[in-house]
Amino acid sequence: MSYNDDNPRDELYRRFLKSLKEPASERFFDEDELVEVFDYAGDIANDYARYEALFIGARLYPDSQALAERRALLYLDLEDADKDLKDGSAAAFVADRPEASSLIFDIVRLEASHPDNGEAALEYLMAQYGKFSDEEIIRFVDLAFDLGCYQWVIDNMAELRKKVSFLPALLYEVMQEADEQGDDKTLAALAEELIESEPFALAYWVMLFKAQARLGQEEEAKQTFDTAKALASDNAAGMLALADAVYTLAPYLQREAIDMLELAKSENPDEFAYADCRCALLVQAGASEKAVEEVSAYAAAHPAELRPMRQLLMCNVANARAVFERYLDANDGREPSPEELDDIISNLHLRSGLRALNGVMEALSARRPLTPPELLSWIETLFAAQKYDKVAALAEGCTEFKELTQTPLKGAAAAYQYTVSLMKLGRDKDALAFVGEVLPFFELMMHDSPMPVRMSLRCFLTLADKIRRHPAREKLYWEYFDMLGYSKF
């Protein structure tokens, strides 16, 4: 729940993890212990432990109501984690158990199928059930927030307080949502109340700091920061959360946060998170060169790590190719995953990191043939950098370039870039010949393509029409007709 490790369930959780190394026949926990392990593992996001607790429970207590409730929650959580892959598992599980009656089952039913009147459903649950356990109150207020009933929760806090045996469980969940909602007065009040009950829990001090910073209470925020900084000395997650809050909300504490992270960085030289966060603050403070130096030093000492290499590329460093090749060599030639590589290329495009993107493409092309998306990205990069000879050479060195120009969006852009590059190189006849080759297909695509594709095609078709009617080089229309926005470079 908080960053504080002093949790009575932790010993049980660690004993459970240790037992997983033993034969299945030697693992024994009572029903309540497995429920505790499941709930605690959920708090610290360990799905492995949650699954194993349910597997053991299914073997030892197949008719357990409490463990059946946890299975329903697991299905619900899996759907929440990937909303694009909802398969109705939670709804199916509770539908197969129409006789199951409990607060947890009712919450899952409402989460699986939201009612028309959320407040009425919440009030029914309040009236139907007595005291709420920690897990029940957490799930209840989460349901309320999912139903858009945040204000209802705030208005009914007095009644909700009477429902719980462990008040911090309720206060913490509402505090988290108050932060999300930007309800800073409520956030500050709840954080202060939680601090009274657990004064050394860093999470509460960070929340109080965020509320004070957003409320413009600068002096109070500085005092809270000092307390939180002292508590964060041996708490990595808490320190980074505090530094992030400074970065986002309190630039007047930049220097203090930078110094705090410098000490943590020196004590944890193999943890990039400290260096990364510190460098973000350095950039914000106007010390970009210092930030790049520190990331470069870390990347040189840890050449096989992805994040520092990626961050250097995002800085558009001059030695981007060497940085990327060093990473590949340190990983025995293995590239980042396709998703990671696509993320790097896409973000360099968005940031106009032409130098770094060119370096990445040079490194990749020296080791293997480029994929079509990579080739199109490289052509666009070279064109934006006005390296027209390289655009032409790259396109003409690809036997499938004409087919690539038929790729939606990127294809028409590549045709545009190649045509203009040819004209910039004085190869007007080649440009006209290429236009004649691809024009019939582009004109055909205009009839049934979605709007974004048609806009890209229209850009090329307008240029093609102009240069076919006015082939003289001094009439080159692209200087004035820049629909792709390359003048921004």
Give the per-residue pLDDT at 159.
97
Give the per-residue pLDDT at 290.
95
Tell me if residue 236 falls in helix, strand or coil: helix
Give the per-residue pLDDT at 86.
54
Give the per-residue pLDDT at 473.
53
pTM: 0.77
The whole-angstrom distance between residue 443's C-alpha and the CA centroid of its chain comes to 40
Give the per-residue pLDDT at 6.
54
285 membership: H or E segment, kind and range: none
Give the per-residue pLDDT at 472.
52
> 80: left (phi > 0), else alpha (psi -120 to 50), else beta?
alpha
With contact defined as beta carbons under 8 Å apart, do 353 and 346 qualify?
no
How far is it, in rounded angstroms, from Cα 296 to Cα 308?
8
Give the per-residue pLDDT at 487.
45
Q: What are the residue ranges in the chain where pLDDT is below 50? A: 1-5, 475, 477-481, 483, 487-489
pLDDT tens-digit map of 38-76: 999 998 889 999 999 999 999 999 999 999 999 999 999
With contact defined as beta carbons under 8 Å apart, do 427 and 383 qualify?
no
Amino acid (one-letter) located at 352: S
Give the dihedral sign, CA 335/340/343/344.
negative
Supply the angle between the helices 338-350 and 354-365 in degrees, to the nearest 10. Answer: 150
With contact defined as beta carbons under 8 Å apart, do 126 and 106 qualify?
no
CA dihedral (82, 83, 85, 91) in degrees, to 10, reads 110
Q: How far is CA 116 from CA 59, 88, 122, in A?
A: 39, 19, 12
Which long-range contacts does 359-362 make (Cβ < 8 Å, 24+ apart)?
Answer: 359/313, 359/319, 359/320, 359/321, 359/322, 359/323, 359/324, 360/313, 360/320, 360/321, 360/324, 362/321
The whole-angstrom distance between residue 27's C-alpha and the CA centroid of its chain comes to 37
Three-state SS string over 74-105 comes to HHHHHHHHCHHHCCCHHHHHHHCCCCCCCHHH
Buried b / exposed e over 404-423, threshold 16 CB at 10 Å, is bbebeebbbbbbbbbbbbbb
